[in-house]
Structure 1
Amino acid sequence: MCSERRKFVVILALFFSTFAFSLTICIDPGHQKEADLTLEPIAPGSETTKARVSTGTRGSSTGIPEYVFNLEFSFMLRDRLLQEGYEVVMTRDSHDVNISNVERAKIANEANADLCIRVHADYSSDSSLKGFMLLIPSETSAQSPLIYSDSKKAAEKIMASLLQIDGIDSLGIRPRDDITGFNWSEVPVLIFEAGFMSNPEEDVLLSTRDYREKLVEALVTGIEDYFLTK
């Protein structure tokens, strides 16, 4: 971030703190050590159900489970956001939990989060596929009138920031109406799919601290840009 822009963000943060106001980010590190395949409604009042928490993937080269990557990355993101003066709520801070996707959405709702970032990595049967993507609620999601516009705006700012990383591959912003954590959310929300652990090269890249730090810095800058436009 350039020095002039950083100064402006600092001044803005000082202004907020003067009036005892802070922005709250909820971070949801996807999955957990053990899946819970019992079912829960995909949306309020829906008869369609999905597993409470699915298994997640595993690194094709590193063997790192996705739930481990998700939490390690989320801790890095949490620490940077705290440094920037945000309040941060985590849906989990350990692996040995059982917190469903509905319950994770409710944690963000109850915190009245200004934005919820759900952290994941991806899998494809095509091992050549790579790149990050951002998922957002579709206009037809259960809570779309309340959260679609802001979720989309946040994703656009974060996308623009991530694309500043040299050599990064992007699969764009994709709306989804079948994600439980979106349909139960009452706050702006997006999923950051950091890359494909099924791609041997990208899996190794995602395991490096240097690349993780670049992703985190880009996310923080994008989040700041989003709030500066509100």
Structure 2
Amino acid sequence: MSLRGKKIFIDPGHGGTASEGKNRCGTYAVGTSGKKSGNEKSSALAIAEVVVEYLEEAGANVKMSRTTDDPVCLDERAKMANKWGADIFVSFHHNSSTNTSANGLSAHYYKSEDKALAEAILPRIVDYTGLDTWGSTGIRKDNFQVLRDTDMPATLLELGFMSNPDDDAFIADYDNKIDMAGGIYRGIRDYFE
């Protein structure tokens, strides 16, 4: 099945500053950062932009929760996707841990209909990047608001740990961001086939 006409909502996580986010949303997480890779919000947006390019070239209709470094509240992200009537919702993030040995990729789901989307995308990111999964499969059930509040199948991708030196160095290389984007795009195609 083609991606032509599919409505795909892309959500680059975070954005803006902590104070901007708090003023707009009440509570707000500004995201993590890596020693080499910089801010999560910037990396998530860079990867998302490449995915959007691939999706649009394949004929999909794509909307993004943000295209600039501005805060967007969690409930607004879900509402935008719901109002638009998106077929799927994909959120982009990087992980962090006080345990610097924690590493790898994960795809998170909440609703039962989310799991197939997570399972379609994550193995392709592994194929394209060679990175490990976080845990045996990297598929994790979590009560994240953007997954809970969306009406369509949704997944939140954690694209490596910025707190892990190896993952951080990988994320810092723009060519590797393109590989992540290629895997995400291929996984979205798989989901619709």
The structure with the larger Rg is 1
User: Any stretches of 5+ residues in structure 1 without a counterpart?
Assistant: 1-8, 17-21, 41-50, 138-143
Please give the residue correspondences for 1:1-230 in structure 2 after superposition, counting only pairs within 5 Å: 12=2, 22-35=5-18, 36-37=21-22, 52-62=27-37, 64-95=38-69, 97-137=70-110, 144=111, 148-149=112-113, 151-165=114-128, 167-171=130-134, 172-177=138-143, 179-228=144-193
Structure 1 residue ranges, 4+ long, deviating more than 4 angstroms after superposition = none
The letter of the residue matching 2:10 is I
Instruction: Report how far residue 88 of structure 1 moved.
Output: 0.6
Instruction: Report how far residue 52 of structure 1 moved.
Output: 4.1
Residues 16-69 of structure 1: CA deviation (Å, up to 9, x unaligned): 6xxxxx1011011100121334797xxxxxxxxxx643121011234x111111
- Higher relative contact order, structure no. (Cα contacts within 8 Å, ≥ 6 residues apart): 2
> Structure 1: how far apart are the matches of 2:182 and 2:36?
25
- Against the structure 1 CA distance between its residues 184 and 52, is the aligned structure 2 distance closer, same or farther, given a 3 Å change threshold? farther
User: Any stretches of 5+ residues in structure 2 without a counterpart?
Assistant: none
- TM-score, reference length from structure 1: 0.76
Is the 2:47–2:180 Cα contact (8 Å) retained in structure 1?
no
Instruction: Report how far residue 123 of structure 1 moved.
Output: 0.5
Is the 2:94–2:160 Cα contact (8 Å) retained in structure 1?
yes
Q: State the percentage of identical aligned residues.
A: 28
